[in-house]
Amino acid sequence: MIATQKIIYCPNPNCSHPINAAENQVCSNCQTPLIHRYLWSVHPNIQKLEAGEIINDRYEVIKQQIWLDTKPAKLPEIPTELSSSMITYLRCSQEILHLPQIYGYLSLKDSHDILLLENVPIDETGNLYPAISNAWKQATPVRQIYWLWQILQLWEKLEKFGVNGSLLLAENLRVQGCFVRLLELTNNQDNTSIQKLGESWENLISQAQPSIAEQLTSIVGQMRDPLVKFADIRSQINRLLLAASAELPLRLNVAGATDIGAELEHNEDACFPTGEDCIDDPLLPRVSIVCDGIGGHEGGEVASKLGVQSVKLQIKALLTEVSGQQELVSPELLQQQLAASLRIVNNVICNANNEQKREGTQRMGTTMLVAVQVPQQVQTVAGWDAENAHELYIANIGDSRAYWITREYCRLLTLDDDVIAREVCLGRSLYHQAKQRRDATALTQALGTKQGENLRPTVQRLIIEEDGLLLLCSDGLSDRFLVEQSWKDFALPVLDGEMHVEEAVYAWIKLANQKNGHDNISLVLTHCRVSPESIITSTPVEFSPEILETPGEATLEAEESEFSESIQLPLDLDLDLELDSENSESEAKPVKAKKKRLSALIWLLGLLFLLSAGLGLGLFTWWRYNPTTFGKACDRLPQGLQKICPKN
């Protein structure tokens, strides 16, 4: 059947008129947000389908393999027995940032079973994100290396399940901004050695950006050697990635807050930073933490606060250790150290439980979500020494969530530690099937409930190579897909310089109280900027001070140079005016000429006033928003001019 009008059904089971036009964002009857779930259909021998065709009275064909679920609230068809290919998808489900997940399947007459995949690289309009080969030429050097690094990471993980050959198929590799994503997983048919991977990269490397082409060509040449070690290739790609990313500037602005919620009497959440934290805290603005306590007012509230304070000490020690290293610390080692830090915090809370003789459900615990921007010194591709390689590590235990948000998309970075995820990862159940369990959202991991050696924290690394927002939040905000539905309203104004981070935090909390007021709400928002800074024109709020990272020496010298040039400009104008004045006194001119000269003088004085006012406003803005670099620039001025600089 061919649909004459594209429709989608409201997910609200109580809606009296659930049929909506597909282009609607909310139900025209009950105002419930509509779910536009685009699926990738895997069917080797199905007949050609026409756009608009309705399959099984539910799925509308957008393109041959892209289908829209018009009844997204209805449970998809679940097989009675899972095939080996289905189990592979389930076992790989932790890689939600890169890999699709099974949604359901269809069994049609005269056709093989059709596998339906969600979390696929399809945008909100039903179009595929570009293949890596099509996006490669326009990508920056950092992004090109970052894509290759992600492929290497996936290669090692998918090899365990015999599907790493999926990374050799050019059209299967898609990119959404800085992230590599796969359309589907395919079982290995031929040799899938690292030599094959190197061959698949050759066409990309031939079109690499000039600044990195030579190094990448050398690495791919090594990959042809049958004796090459995977770890050596990974190490070289990592070093090149950090060397390229370190050439970008990086500014961080962080704000956080926690709220009791609209319906509760106690707040068991805790986060860092909040408006109560000192702006001189050495962890700012590189560290953000969200904890959601478990165990009631006398337990959860204590556990979450204890967790925040304990992990801050661990991270401070880790950053101190990293700063003293002469060589780069590998991402694998940093991930191990962060996981070990969470286990130590776990044992602190666990010991408190034991001392208070808490047993069973009385034991207090907490989720923990930590993001750490680790600055490492590295020599850049251009050959100068940089102080920060833009690494961002995220460690997670529990169901608090992290998102990376840009102007184009919002991506969930973490996987909940709940019964649903456990059943899926063990290959026992499809996601939407496990979601029907009574204990579906019960936590399987939390800090303080058991000994640290039994914990399995998830730690991942991102590279900050684009402007974006890192959002960490408790389920008081993330429940009911509130982040996915509202991110544009809060993230875009911050990214466009129209709203301060603090304003966005409190506006998001206000919305969460309206929509998810059943729980405590905590969030920490970090604005990461690698592009030139723009001045925010809105009036700053007084919730918490803006925290800016001090730029590196190269940035400082550039700003000081601009400062020196700008203060010289009015002096040059004054000199020109004095020369004009002398000429007017020494030469006899008609009255009209004098009037013209007077008009010109007034015009020049007006111009001087405007320039001086603009300069003053610019200097004030610099002093107000970045007093550290302003003060350093003042220190380089002659002694006489230093007196006019404001004191911090």
Query: In one letter, which amino acid is 112?
Result: H
Q: Average pLDDT of 511-523? A: 95
Query: Both 33 and 64 in a single domain?
Result: yes
Query: Both 328 and 210 in a single domain?
Result: no
Number of domains composing the chain: 4
Under the banding of pLDDT at 50, 70 and 90, the label for residue 147 is: very high
- Tens digit of pLDDT for each residue in 34-86? 999 999 999 877 778 889 999 999 999 999 899 999 999 999 999 999 999 99
Q: Which of 257, 278, 266 is nearest to 503 (CA)?
A: 257
Query: Both 289 and 207 in a single domain?
Result: no
Residue 538 has pLDDT above 70, yes or no: no
pLDDT at 623: 53
pLDDT at 593: 37
Residue 613 lies in a domain: yes
Domain limits for position 269: 251-544
CB 129 within 8 A of CB 409: no
Going by the DSSP 8-state scheme, the letter that residue 128 receives in this structure is: B
Under the banding of pLDDT at 50, 70 and 90, the label for residue 362 is: confident
Query: Both 223 and 267 in a single domain?
Result: no
Q: Hunting for tokens 């399987």 — which residue is that?
A: 444
- Tens digit of pLDDT for each residue in 317-331? 999 999 999 999 999
Report how far Cα 151 is from the mean position of its chain's Cα atoms.
18
Q: Hunting for tokens 């380089």 — which residue is that?
A: 636
Query: Both 616 and 575 in a single domain?
Result: yes
Burial 621-642 (b: 16+ CB within 10 A, else e): ebbebbeebbebbbeebeeeee
CB 22 within 8 A of CB 8: yes
Residue 625 has pLDDT above 50, yes or no: no
Task: State the greatest distance between any 2 C-alpha atoms of the chain, in Å, as a whole number.
Answer: 106
Q: Which of 108-112, 260-264, 548-552, 642-646 has the lowest mean pLDDT?
A: 548-552
- φ and ψ at 625, to 5 degrees? -100, -15
Q: Hunting for tokens 């991110």 — which residue is that?
A: 487
Domain end marker among 544, 564, 598: 544
Q: Average pLDDT of 93-112? A: 90
All residues at 6 or more sequence positions from 454 whose CB lies less than 8 Å from its CB, including other chains: none
Query: Both 213 and 260 in a single domain?
Result: no
Chain mean pLDDT for the chain: 86
Q: Average pLDDT of 344-365? A: 92
Residue 182 has pLDDT above 50, yes or no: yes
Containing 615, the helix (H) or strand (E) segment is: helix 591-625
Query: Both 389 and 460 in a single domain?
Result: yes
pLDDT at 109: 75
Going by the DSSP 8-state scheme, the letter that residue 165 receives in this structure is: G
Residue 565 has pLDDT above 50, yes or no: no
CB 71 within 8 A of CB 58: yes
Output the CA–CA distances (angstroms, integers) from residue 591 to 483, 577, 595, 605, in the order listed.
72, 20, 6, 21
Q: Which of 340-344, 437-441, 588-592 has the lowest mean pLDDT?
A: 588-592
Query: In one letter, which amino acid is 267?
Result: N
Q: Which of 179-193, 341-355, 607-621 has the lowest mean pLDDT?
A: 607-621
Residue 124 lies in a domain: no
pLDDT at 539: 46
Containing 603, the helix (H) or strand (E) segment is: helix 591-625
Residue 592 has pLDDT above 70, yes or no: no
Residue 588 has pLDDT above 80, yes or no: no
E strands, 476-621, in order = 521-529
Residue 510 lies in a domain: yes
Q: Which of 166-170, 566-570, 605-609 has the lowest mean pLDDT?
A: 566-570
Tally of CB atoms within 10 A around 274:
17
Tally of CB atoms within 10 A around 44:
8
pLDDT at 566: 33
Residue 624 has pLDDT above 70, yes or no: no
User: Positive or negative, the Cα torsion across 319, 321, 324, 327?
Assistant: negative
Residue 125 lies in a domain: no
- Tens digit of pLDDT for each residue in 416-445? 999 999 999 999 999 999 999 999 999 999
Under the banding of pLDDT at 50, 70 and 90, the label for residue 597 is: very low
Query: Both 521 and 607 in a single domain?
Result: no
Residue 143 lies in a domain: yes
Q: Average pLDDT of 159-179? A: 97
Cα–Cα distance measured from residue 428 to residue 102, given in angstroms and rounded to the nearest whole number: 13
Domain end marker among 513, 544, 575: 544
pLDDT at 545: 33
240 vs 616 pLDDT, higher one: 240
- List residues bridging with 483 in a β-sheet: none
Under the banding of pLDDT at 50, 70 and 90, the label for residue 631 is: low
pLDDT at 167: 98
Residue 2 lies in a domain: no
CATH number at 456 reads 3.60.40.10
Query: Both 240 and 261 in a single domain?
Result: no
Q: Which of 25-34, 353-362, 489-498 has the lowest mean pLDDT?
A: 353-362
Cα–Cα distance measured from residue 458 to residue 415, given in angstroms and rounded to the nearest whole number: 9
pLDDT at 562: 36
Under the banding of pLDDT at 50, 70 and 90, the label for residue 359 is: confident
Q: Average pLDDT of 300-308? A: 96
3-state DSSP assignment of residue 275: coil
CB 209 within 8 A of CB 239: no
pLDDT at 189: 83
Under the banding of pLDDT at 50, 70 and 90, the label for residue 113 is: confident
- List residues bridging with 412 in a β-sheet: 403
pLDDT above 90 as % of the chain: 74
Cα–Cα distance measured from residue 582 to residue 576, given in angstroms and rounded to the nearest whole number: 10
pLDDT at 610: 56
All residues at 6 or more sequence positions from 42 whose CB lies less than 8 Å from its CB, including other chains: 65, 114, 115, 116, 117, 184
Under the banding of pLDDT at 50, 70 and 90, the label for residue 547 is: very low
Going by the DSSP 8-state scheme, the letter that residue 505 receives in this structure is: H
Q: Average pLDDT of 263-274? A: 96
Q: Which of 51-55, 128-132, 230-234, 571-575 has the lowest mean pLDDT?
A: 571-575
Residue 556 has pLDDT above 50, yes or no: no
Query: Both 261 and 354 in a single domain?
Result: yes
Residue 612 lies in a domain: yes
pLDDT at 5: 81
User: Positive or negative, the Cα torsion across 308, 313, 315, 319?
Assistant: positive
pLDDT above 70 as % of the chain: 81
Cα–Cα distance measured from residue 181 to residue 121, given in angstroms and rounded to the nearest whole number: 6
Query: Both 197 and 326 in a single domain?
Result: no
Residue 10 has pLDDT above 70, yes or no: yes
pLDDT at 627: 55
Query: Both 403 and 483 in a single domain?
Result: yes
DSSP 1-47: -B-SS-EEE-S-TT-SS-EEETT-SB-TTT-PBP--EEEEEE-SSPP
All residues at 6 or more sequence positions from 77 whose CB lies less than 8 Å from its CB, including other chains: 104, 105, 106, 107
Output the CA–CA distances (angstroms, integers) from residue 460 to 307, 333, 528, in the order listed.
20, 12, 18
pLDDT at 596: 41
Burial 381-400 (b: 16+ CB within 10 A, else e): beeeebbbbbbbbbbbbbbb
Task: List helix spans (H) across 192-296.
Answer: 194-205, 210-223, 230-245
Residue 550 lies in a domain: no
- Number of alpha carbons in the 13 Å side-chain half-sphere of residue 12: 16
Domain end marker among 197, 216, 245: 245
All residues at 6 or more sequence positions from 366 whose CB lies less than 8 Å from its CB, including other chains: 270, 291, 292, 293, 294, 300, 303, 304, 306, 307, 349, 398, 446, 447, 448
Q: Average pLDDT of 188-197? A: 91
Query: In one letter, which amino acid is 557?
Result: E
Q: Average pLDDT of 102-126? A: 91
Report how far Cα 40 is from the mean position of its chain's Cα atoms.
25
555 vs 168 pLDDT, higher one: 168
